[in-house]
Amino acid sequence: MSKGRYRAQLLLGETQLASSHFQVEDFVSETMKVNITGLPAFAAIDQALVFSTESLFLFGAPGAVRPISEQLPANPTRQPFDAFDGFERGGLDDNYQQQALRDSQTLKISEAGLADFEFIASAFESIANSELPQRVTVGVELEEVPGRVTRQKESVFVATQSS
């Protein structure tokens, strides 16, 4: 598609149901994808959080030897923690706003397109005394080429009382 202004129409037979105008700028389609694997649905505050990423070109080859970085922000949540016996739900406290649990970490992807991340339990120290469970979002950014990034995010719920 060439650069410029276009109009799209939704037709049912010859009847126009809707239309929309849009602008096309220089566009380069994504060439890679990144998947987060091994991330548990629930984690405990006193346990390490371990997960892996798999990076692939959309045409199937591994996305090898590229930089991949992660971010780890936490948000309070009212999600119940049935997976943890004896967990008590509290009200809002001083730790009710989003916060970054650690600085971003960047790794090089292996030849097979894989990278392994581990957050030791001390990464959760800033939320350890929170009365509310925390939703921790694991976000990864894969650099396809300089200036071009593919992103993926997944969440894990962290019980803020020891398991």
Task: For residue range 5-40, list pLDDT tens digits in order.
Answer: 899 999 999 999 999 998 877 656 678 888 899 998
Range in 24-28, 31-35, 62-66, 114-118 with the lowest mean pLDDT: 24-28
18-27, 43-52, 71-80, 111-120: the lowest-pLDDT one? 71-80
Beta strands in the chain (DSSP E): 4-12, 15-24, 32-37, 42-44, 49-57, 67-71, 73-76, 99-100, 105-108, 114-119, 134-145, 148-159
Q: Count Cα neighbours of 78 within 13 Å in the Cβ-side half-sphere.
A: 2
Fold of the domain spanning 28-159: Immunoglobulin-like (2.60.40)
> Does the structure show a pLDDT above 50 at 93?
no
What's the mean per-residue pLDDT of the chain? 76
Q: How far apart are CA 126 and CA 131, in angstroms?
A: 12
Ranges of each domain in the chain = 28-159
Helix (H/G/I), strand (E/B), else coil: 19: strand
CA-based nearest residue to 53, from 147, 124, 152: 152
